[in-house]
Amino acid sequence: MSNQSLKLLKSRLDARNFAALEAIDNERLHAFVADAVELCCPEKVWVSTDNSQDIDFTRKMALQLGEEKPLAITGHTIHFDGIEDQGRDREATKYLVPKGQALSAALNQMDRDEGLKEVREAMKGSMQGRIMIVRFMTLGPNNSDFSTPCVECTDSFYVSHSLNLLYRLGYEEFKRLADKASFFAILHSAGKLDARMVSAEPANKKIYIDHTAETVYSINTQYAGNTVGLKKLALRLSIRKADREGWLAEHMFLMGVRGKHGRKTYFAGAFPSACGKTSTAMLPGETILGDDIAYFRVVEGRCMAANAESGIFGIIQNVCEKDDPAIWAVLNKPGEVIFSNVLVKDSKPYWLGMGIDIPSEGESFCGAWKKDMKDAKNEEIPCAHKNARYAVTLKALENCDSELDNPEGIELSAILYGGRDAKAYVPCQQSFSWEHGIVAYGAALETETTFATVGKEGIPEINLMSIQDFVAISLGKYVRNNLEFGKKLIKPPQIFGVNYFLRHLPAEADKEEEKRTGKKKLPPFVNGIRDKHVWVKWAERRVHGEIGCIEAPTGLIPRYEDLKALFKELLGKDYTPDDYEKQFTIRISENLAKIDRVVKFHREKVTESPDEVFKVMEEQRRLLKVAFDKFGDLVSPTNLPEHD
C-alpha cells in the first residue's frame, strides 16, 4: 500500500514536500494523503513541519491570499466566515454508520456507504488551482498517554493558522511514532470562494464523521468549529477511542482555583457554548489550563486530566475589561490573535457587549455594515455576530497554568456542570455522591439553545453532560462509562451543579401584562455576571472540608454566612439575606417538571440509559415531594437542615 501511495505522492509533490512525508514511516498516513490529493486535485501540496519557518509561512499565506487581514495591533488579524456560516451546523454534521448499526436517536446519522459517496463526490476536484496544506498536530501533550496524533489536509491557510494557535505541533511526534501512530485524519476544503475569500456555497456544506475509519470530511464551510477538525469533530472520534480504552473524553474546561496557604485545586467544568464556560475558566486570580476539551484517565486510583488543546477559540461577545481582564489584556496588546466575525473600522475590532462605543459603520460578517441595517427578513443586522470569536494560544495569557504541557496531566478534585436553566436549579450546589452528580447535574443538564449552534435560540433542551452533539457511541453507554469511571477512583472528584441563568420569580404585574399583551416578559437573572467567582470559591472550600452546607432536595447548598463572607472578600459586595433567599429558594414544582423532562428524554432519546439514571431522578423526586408536603411549593433555605 505504502509503495503505491508514495509512488503517487512522488509524482505530484516537489522534492522538499515529498521528503517531508516520506520521513514519516506510516503506511496509513501515506495512503490518506495520496487519496486526498487524488480526490481534491490541488495545484500544489505543501507539508508543514514543526520548524518556525513553516509556522510563519502559514500566517503569511493567510494574509497574502486574503483569508485574513491585518489589524492595527501587531500580530492581530481578522477573518470573516460569511453571513450563513456562523456556527456549528447540526443538520449538516452527520455520523456515517455502517449498515446494521445505529447510534443514539438523538444523533444525526446516515448510511456510511451513501455518505462517503455523497461527500467524496462533493470534494472531487475541490482544490483545483489551490494549495493543499498538510498539517501534523496532537491532541493532548506530546509523548504522553493523553496524546493522540492528528493529520489535517486543508486548502485554507486560515484553518492552518488556527491550528498553530489552538494545538500542539505534531510533525516530530509522527516521526517518532512512525508506524505505531494511530491517528485521526481530517480532510477539509472551503469549496468555492467569493471575492471576500468566504465559502460561496454554505447551503451545500457537508461535515461527515466516518468514525469507523477515524476520518472527518468537511466542505463548503470555513467556520472553525466546522473546519478545524481537531476541535469538536475530532472530539467525536476521541470519545470512541476513550470508550475502547477505558478513559473519558469530555467537553470541559480545566482550571486551577487558588485557596488558603497558597494551595491550587484543579477543577473541570462542562457548560454548553455561551453558558459561561470560558469566563469561568478565566476567572481573575485563578489559572487556566484549558477552556474546551479535557481528557481524564485513572492513574493509581487518582483522576488525572489534561487539556486536549493548547489554545482558545472563544466567544468574544460580552468580553469587557471589567469582567474579563485576562482575555481583555490579550485582545488589546501585540501578539498573535485571530478575530472572526467582529466589526472592523479603521483596522480596529469591535464586538457586542465590549463596553465601549461602537462605530456606526464598518466591515462585518455581512460585508459592508451600517447601523440599523436590515437583512432579507427585515431583521436588524448586529454590528458583529453573537458567535464572533477570537483564537489565541493559551501561553499568551498571563494566567496560563504552568502544568499545561505536563505529560502526566494534573490531579482533578472537582467537576462543575452548568447550563441555562431559568426556572429550576439554584446557582450552585454539591452532589450527594459521584453517582448523584453524574446523573442529576450531568445526564440531566438542561439548557436553552444559543447562537453558538445554527438554529433557533432560546429553546429549552437536554444537553447531556454538555457533550450530547458529539457522542459517537450510545448516550446510555456514555453515561455508564462516567458512572463506572468513578468506581475506579480512590477519591473521586467532588461534583457541583452551577446555574448562572436562574431568573427571579415573575412578579404578578408581569404575569398580568403577559396575559394582556401576549408578549413574554422575562424577569431579570438572580445572579450578577461576576457572582460565578463566589460559587467556584465556595466549591473549592467544600472540596477541602473547610465550610459546612445545607441539605436541600436537589443537593448540598451554601450557608448564608459563608456566602456573605465570600461576596465581601472576592467582590467587595454586601450580600443580603434577601439576595440569599431569592437565589437559593428551592422551587419544588419547577424541579419536579424538570425531572419529568429528563426522564422522558432518557426513555425516548437515550439508547440503554443506565438504571441509575431513573433511580437517582426518582429519589430526587421523592425528596422534593417530602419538602413540598412540609413547606409548600417554595422552600426557603432557612427551613432546611445544616450538613457537615
| Residues that are catalytic | 275
SS3 track for 363-376: EECCEEEECCCECC
* 188: nearest Cα among 161, 154, 214, 222: 154
Provide the 3-class DSSP secondary structure of residue 73.
coil
Instruction: Name the residue type at position 643.
Output: H
Query: Which residues, 6 or more positions from 60, have their beta carbon under 8 angstroms from its beta carbon?
Result: none
* 559: nearest Cα among 573, 541, 532: 541
Instruction: Output the nine-digit C-alpha cell for 555.
Output: 443537593
Instruction: Output the nine-digit C-alpha cell for 213.
Output: 475509519
Is 134 in contact with 45 (CB distance < 8 Å)? Answer: yes
Q: What are phi and psi of 286, to 5 degrees?
A: -105, 175
Cα 494 from Cα 485, distance rounded (Å): 13
- List Cα–Cα distances, 63 to 77, 110, 158, 190, 264, in angstroms: 8, 38, 9, 16, 41
Nearest 5°: CA angle at 314, between 312 and 319? 125
Is 447 in contact with 421 (CB distance < 8 Å)? Answer: yes
Is 504 in contact with 584 (CB distance < 8 Å)? Answer: no
List for the chain the helix, strand, coil content (%; round to 5).
35, 25, 40
Bridge partners for 447 per DSSP: 461
Provide the 3-class DSSP secondary structure of residue 623.
helix
Cα 358 from Cα 468, distance rounded (Å): 36
Is 273 in contact with 315 (CB distance < 8 Å)? Answer: yes
Provide the 3-class DSSP secondary structure of residue 555.
strand
Is 428 in contact with 547 (CB distance < 8 Å)? Answer: no
Cα 595 from Cα 462, distance rounded (Å): 11
By residue count, the chain amounts to 644
Is 189 in contact with 154 (CB distance < 8 Å)? Answer: yes
- List Cα–Cα distances, 389 to 123, 250, 453, 594, in angstroms: 27, 21, 13, 32
- List Cα–Cα distances, 264 to 259, 406, 412, 490, 540, in angstroms: 6, 16, 11, 20, 9
Report the DSSP pairing between strands 460-462 and 311-315: unpaired
Run of H or E residues at 210: strand 206-210
Cα 581 from Cα 573, distance rounded (Å): 16
Residue found by looking up cell 466591515 in the block:
363
- List Cα–Cα distances, 219 to 151, 190, 464, 594, in angstroms: 17, 5, 28, 39
Q: In degrees to the nearest 10, what's the CA dihedral of 278, 534, 526, 434? A: 80
Q: What are phi and psi of 295, to 5 degrees?
A: -110, 135
Instruction: Name the residue type at position 462.
Output: I
Instruction: Output the nine-digit C-alpha cell for 198.
Output: 468566504
